[in-house]
Structure 1
Amino acid sequence: MSADAPVTPTFDDLPLRPELLQELASLGYEEPTPIQSEAIPHLVAGADLLGQAATGTGKTAAFALPLLERLPAGERGRSPSALVLVPTRELAMQVSQAVHRYGRGLGARVLPIYGGQPIGRQLKELGRGVDVVVATPGRALDHLSRGTLDLDAVGIVVLDEADEMLDMGFQEDLESILDEAPVERQTVLFSATMPRHIDQLARKHLRDPVRITIGRAQAVAGSAEGPRIDQTAYVVSRGNKPAALGRILDVEAPGATIVFCGTRNEVDELTETMNGRGYRAEALHGGMSQEQRDRVMDRLRNETADLLVATDVAARGLDIEHLTHVVNYDVPSAPENYTHRIGRVGRAGREGVAITLVEPRQHRLLKAIERHTGQKMDVARIPTVADLRARRMELTRAALREELLGDELDRYHAVVDALADEFDVVEIALAAVKLAHDTLGGDPDEEQELPELALTSDGRDRQGQAGRSGGRRPPRGKGGGDVGRVFIGLGRNAGIRPKDLVGAIANEAGVAGRDIGAIQITQNFSLVEVPSGQVDQVIGALRETTIKGRRATVRRDNRDPGN
């Protein structure tokens, strides 16, 4: 080895106690990622930290290991010593599982608290005593108002995915929670992006923080644990997207795959279409109950489903070990969302594939993503019918070869011997190959060629999606489905703003932000349109939580025709 070669750090080089190192070794972790190497020593030393790190760079372990390292030895009290705040229930579960896994050797008591889960169970566990609480802001504030969450012993507060929490309208909830935590605490903030409001939050609540920035490119170059993602775009018209997706997946033959769609309705429609093409597809979006979500994730992890069609919010924080492909069915208008999506694959040194279906007029969106990632995206042509035919022949050949290498062919000798008296052996083999080929899928000759398109260079994007440029979309009742209206007894006098209501409904009731319609805020109350089938779900969830720290009367609006 050259004397100038960099020395690759190991976990043994970090200031971690033996129980944690042993657990990391048992999990197969060999070397820390760049964010872990840089952050862990500072956090163990007690410094505040402001970290910018993309999804998939290992930031969960970067804050989880130090907070476990700082757990008191011996008997611990009932009050938590660490609080981790995350934007969604899925991320709360994922982070909680990771902290529990790393802290098994220490007997760490970890509790996730989030909306949609029976609060009685959370109250019981909090009463028994916990070391680390992983919570969504709304539910954490709810427990604080009830007096069931005691922060007096908290020595470290972590804000994970801080930009996402602020985008969901949780800024004032976060401010209230941080004000309740001890002044002499350690505060850690991780965010994929650093807009101005994140910097303002950090200046107010962090004391002389260490600043660390780890981009995806650095993660790839700096560690074998970094993501390795092959990124490809296919230019296709909107009407041909379902057929193009099926054809690409037929040729790619991926393992588990997530397909990201822009709306809940699109998720449901595409799931039905892909099941019709023979894929084992499952939908995941904010309109589903937690029980339904859990069933979907169990099917994916147990490999009884191979295709997950999801919205961004519903899939936030998912970590599926055997995931190989991510598909952007819609090009995300924010490059940061693209980074979050493709971060689902290429983790822990594994290779992954990111596929994006681009409409010809989306030239500017694609260029913005390339500038953000610093990588030129390959633009490929959609597989042709000939490509499909060749791929399926390849699969047939592979299946037959596997059978020929096996040892269960003897019982079929009688069939071949009987036919050999009438037909040539080669003809018998060809007939057998045809039967095998027909069992592997539909006939490519029944597929129509899809037009080969190119990106337009005028840069005009006529999608007309106001919600993506900051405006609210039209009410769903105007051509987008039936809506119901929810009355919430808090208004401008309570400091309520539209994003407060969107954040509360999206996180506590599981309704995607884009499915929330018109919002009217008066001095003393607010009216919010939501899909009619989810009115009762929203009412039930909001009655169990607080909005900006206050409980509200929540009911169906008296003028709602569905009342």
Structure 2
Amino acid sequence: MDEDPTTSTDAGFAELGLRPELLRALADLGYEEPTPIQREAIGPLVAGHDLVGQAATGTGKTAAFALPLLQRLTTGTSDDPVALVLVPTRELAEQVSQAVHRYGRELNVRVLPVYGGQPIHRQLQVLRRGVDVVVGTPGRILDHIERETLRLDAIRTVVLDEADEMLDMGFAEDIEAILAETPEERQTVLFSATMPPRIDAIARRHLRDPQRIRMGRDTATADALPTVRQSAYLVARAHKAAALGRVLDVEAPTAAIVFCRTREEVEEVTESLNGRGFRAEALHGGLSQDQRDRVMGRLRAGTTELLVATDVAARGLDVEQLTHVINFNVPSAPEAYVHRIGRVGRAGRTGAAITLAEPREQRMLKAIERLTGQRIVLEKLPTVTDLRARRLEMVRTTVVEGLDADDLDRFRSVLASLTDEADLEQVALACLNLLHEANGGDVDEPEIPSIAPQREREFDNRAARRNGPGADRYNDRGPGRGRSADSAVTRVFVGLGRRAGLRPQDLVGAIAGEAGLPARDIGAIQITDRFSLVEVPEADADRVIRALSHSTIRGRRPTVRRDRPHR
């Protein structure tokens, strides 16, 4: 619910001594109360102290250093920057730059993001005109220093944001070289999600008697994470929209939020999903409050199943029936990921967090894993065969649910007349075909090119066993360590899935124990809500099917057969 935040903002942030221009900007942005790290950090930074801050979750640290930086800023007095913010990625550079611009709009602050992959001549033009704050990645900042197009003699404040990530990316020497170009009397601020010894070493060398702040993980978020199944798919940018539709087809969420970075992307994704037959609604800052309320009402009422939103527009939303959070892109900051997925798995509820990642974003997934202490399972995109199997499973589910209807007797006369003309099996098959067509029929679309993850050997059976119930795919290093890569394999259908509590190790144990097949010969395992597919050597397929058909898994005797190919 949006309400006039001016009063609560003034009461919260004004007591930190911020200037009126900043308070008005915060009020317009809807900021009501300082977060804990903002309360702890803003005062010492405004007073000019150096500071080391650790925040394990998304606690608003950008505002924690940006607001004091702007508080102490005297704009327009020099063409050279007076503040420098170093960040590990271009995405974070853009995010921080936008935040500084929004907070300081009434101060006419001149801020420039500087990163690789952007035409350098544009950066040179802006630098020649003069800037107040530069936000950039170490490599490109150092490039400008060596070109003598960026002078740091006037720098009064340096911020090292996501310092541990910058070190992990190999920027340690660049950071040292950049700091050597800044005045010794500068204010230095260091923020990091973790505090390994090498971060402490940087703080001892470059910070003067710093204040230290450590924020623990938000309790509600920490409690929610264990119940959230986290996975990611590697997808090229050109195929993301198609991949999103395919994932949603297989997952079949009750209600889901798809997070996008920009308003334009929200509109594009919403249009694409509606074109595929989903019921999707957009939620972004361009909508009025009445429009937002109507969208949320339709989601809670079940007439809309997908909400496509930006982070800002979705702030504060709590939808009880939400089952999935999907990141159309990897969030630019790990803390944002934690807050997004915390929207499912609340109050003991289970949920799924799925991320569509471009190949270059794998490093960002690793940063998220370090922050959460939990693994994000890299999965293979569902194939056309998977989609066809899913739709056939939907037909079966619909029929099973229909068996409980109270008024089936009224169709007996129709069935009798039909069986006079055809046998019962033929009649049943015709009915199933009609139901299948009503659900969309056979899938007829091209395959999406698969992308192999970096260091793929890390994602072996040990990882699947560590992850337990959330590990939906088991991959024992390809087609099995005990046989050659070109051995013939067969996919076996097992009529149990996640809803039965099935885990990869359950299938491995059953096949090894009942069929006597060594675990090293078991290939990829895919587990969906209601069924599973497992690769076994063609020569052993019949033995595995017979053994599993006469055994119980998770207390149930499953339907087991060869996976039927669809053409």
Give the TM-score normalised by the residue count of structure 2. 0.48
Give the TM-score normalised by the residue count of structure 1. 0.48
With a CA cutoff of 8 Å and minimum separation of 6, indicate the structure with the bigger relative contact order: 1
